[in-house]
Structure formats: C-alpha cells, structure tokens
Amino acid sequence: MANDAKYVVTGGAGFIGSTLVRRLIERGKVAVIDNLLTGHEANLKEVRGQIEFHRVDIRDAAALDPVIQGADTVFHLAAIPSVPRSIDDPVPSHEVNIDGTFNVLRAAANARVRRVVYAASSSAYGDTEVLPKTETMTPIPKSPYAVQKLLGEYYASVFHSCYGLETVALRFFNVYGPRQDPTSPYSGVLSLFMKHLIARTSPTIFGDGEQSRDFTYVEDVADLCWKASQADGVAGKMYNAGNGNEYTLNQIWRLLQQMEGVSLPPNMALPRAGDVRHSKADTAAAIRDLGHSPRITIEEGLRRTLEWYRLAM
C-alpha cells in the first residue's frame, strides 16, 4: 500500500533502477537521480508522470542534497558498469563509482536518511577457488570495476559504523531482463545475445564460452532491493543478490537457439582482460536474513526477456 515515504533511486533511469522504480511507486513517493549517461528516460516512459526526475550526476555532491533531503530510503544504483569499460577508460568509472558513491552516502548521512541500499557487484569475489561464492570469502578483485564496487561496500559499512547510517550492500550477480541496453560493446552479454538472436546474426563469445555466470532476473533483484530496505538487523552488512545457479555462455546460447529454432554458431574471440571464470552465488545468507526468494527460472527469464526485445526492437 502506498504511504508518504519518499524513496530515492540513483540510476533510476537505468535498466535495474527503472525496474525498481516501478515497484516503489506502489509504496510511496519516488525521486529518480540519473545523469542519463547509460540510462534512458524512455525506460521510465509510462511511469514518468508518477515520479520526480532529477537529471543529476552523482559526482556533483551539492546537487544531491536537495533531492535526498527527506528520503526514507536511498537505493544507490547509479554507476558506470562494465568490467572492460573500466579497463579501457578507468577515470570516469573511478569517479562515478567511488567518488559518486561517497557523495551519495554523505548526502544520505547528512539528511538522516533511514537506510541506503547499495548495488555492489559479484565481480568483487574475482576467481575464488570454491563455488558457490559466500559473503565471508576474501575478495580478490580483478578489474578497476571490481575494486570500485568493493570500495563502495567498504564505504557503506563505514558510514554505518562511523556515522550511524543504516546501509545494506547487495552484490548483484549478472542481472538480465527487459530494458537492458544492448547498444554498447560494453552491454551485458544476455542483452547482446538477445539482439543477435532476433537479428538472426552470430554473437561473439570471448574465450571458450565455458565461463559461467549466475544470471539473475531483474524482477528478482528489484524484489531483493526492497526486502533489503525493510529487513531488521542487517545494517552495515553485505549480501549476495544471486540466484544460486550457474550457466555457461555456451549453454545459454544453445538454449536461446533452441527456443527460436535457429542455428547460429557464435564467433569465438580471445578472452577478455579482467574476466572472472566462474560465478555462482551462495544465497543462504540472503534467504535467511532478507527473505530472498528468487522466483524466475532461467528458461522463464529468457522467455520474458526475449518477448520484450522482440517488441522493443
């Protein structure tokens, strides 16, 4: 039921943020902060009249204060994503993902916001010897992006211990679904697979395609963001936001071809620098403490996503 609480979503015009915004408008007032660098106002099209939209860059600390003032919860999703992008062009991602995160946390602490939910990344784990990846493992970041996202976690935890701001960090595991932008070489692999499948062209697979990911449907992630904002006894902590599954790129591309009844052998290319080999979340802590309950199977998620791209493209 809607109430008077104000929710701020940084990166709210992005793929994950815009899904979360749709959940939050049922619960209260929503203000979006986005610089539209990788997000698009079109992602908010049919909800645009129900939210406040602020075209603000999180590197601009002073501009954050008036928007964050009076917020109950800040969902901090704004970031420059992509492992290879952070390697090719590290300065903007460093500034947005580290300095920008600091600015958001500081504005939230100054405004006495009740809680900040921070979008951390599974990339922080790097190549662990053991799967699934558990929150207690020592992080071994392999790319600037992984370092940046890990630093944001540390800052979130320190803002809790030093300034009393409630924070919860969620390590997202390869999120996919409707509205993921497939137009950049840095786009998430499943959005690129969808684009190629619909165009009946071959995707590129970096390496042997046997690397695996815990692909997580965007609605399940949005759901967990909400739960993380409400759960008791979790302030200052970090949780995996994954599905607990593991699929190789070869498996996913085979599945997609079967769904469409086509045969499109991928172009194989050299492995990407900074790439993690295998990724699979231990979901036990998130289930126990946050009530995490991912509902969308990979088949169902791919079907829904493909349906969306078919209409959108």
Nearer to ligand UD1, 58 or 192 (CB): 192
In the complex, residue closest to ligand UD1 by CB: 123
Residue in the structure block whose two tokens are 């406040």: 52
147 exposed, middle or buried (CB, 10 Å; 0-12, 13-18, 19+)? buried
Name the residue among 80, 85, 71 with its Cα closest to residue 100. Answer: 80
Query: Residue 279, exposed/middle/buried by CB under 10 A (0-12, 13-18, 19+)?
Result: buried
Identity of the residue, 81 or 144, whose beta carbon is nearer to ligand UD1 in the bound complex: 81
Half-sphere exposure of 57 (CA within 13 A, CB side): 10
- Please, which residue, 2 or 262, has the CB nearer to ligand UD1? 262
**Smallest distance, ligand UD1 to C-beta of residue 187, A:** 7
CA-based nearest residue to 289, from 210, 231, 247, 244: 231
**Residue 19: CB minimum distance to ligand UD1, A:** 14
Rg (CA), the chain: 19
Specify whether the CB–CB gap between 222 and 19 falls below 8 A. Answer: yes
Identity of the residue, 35 or 123, whose beta carbon is nearer to ligand UD1 in the bound complex: 123
| Least distance CB 79 / ligand UD1 (angstroms) | 8
Site residues (vs ligand UD1, CB under 6 A): 81-83, 121-123, 172-174, 188-189, 192, 203-206, 211, 213, 249, 272, 275-276, 279
Shortest distance, position 155 Cβ to ligand UD1, whole Å: 18
CA separation for the pair 297, 293 (Å, rounded): 12
3-state SS assignment for residue 100: helix
Nearer to ligand UD1 among residue 172 and residue 217 (C-beta): 172
Q: Look up residue 118 and give its two tokens.
A: 């921070």
Q: How far is the CB of 280 from ligand UD1 (least distance, A)?
A: 9
Nearer to ligand UD1, 157 or 240 (CB): 240
Three-class SS of residue 31?
strand
Q: How far is CA 73 from the centre of its chain?
A: 17
Please state the closest distance from residue 4 (CB atom) to ligand UD1, in A.
Answer: 33
DSSP bridge partners of 168: 117, 237
Residue number, 22 or 213, with CB nearest to ligand UD1: 213
What's the closest the beta carbon of residue 268 comes to ligand UD1, in angstroms?
A: 9
How much of the chain is helix, strand and coil, in % rounded to 5?
45, 15, 40
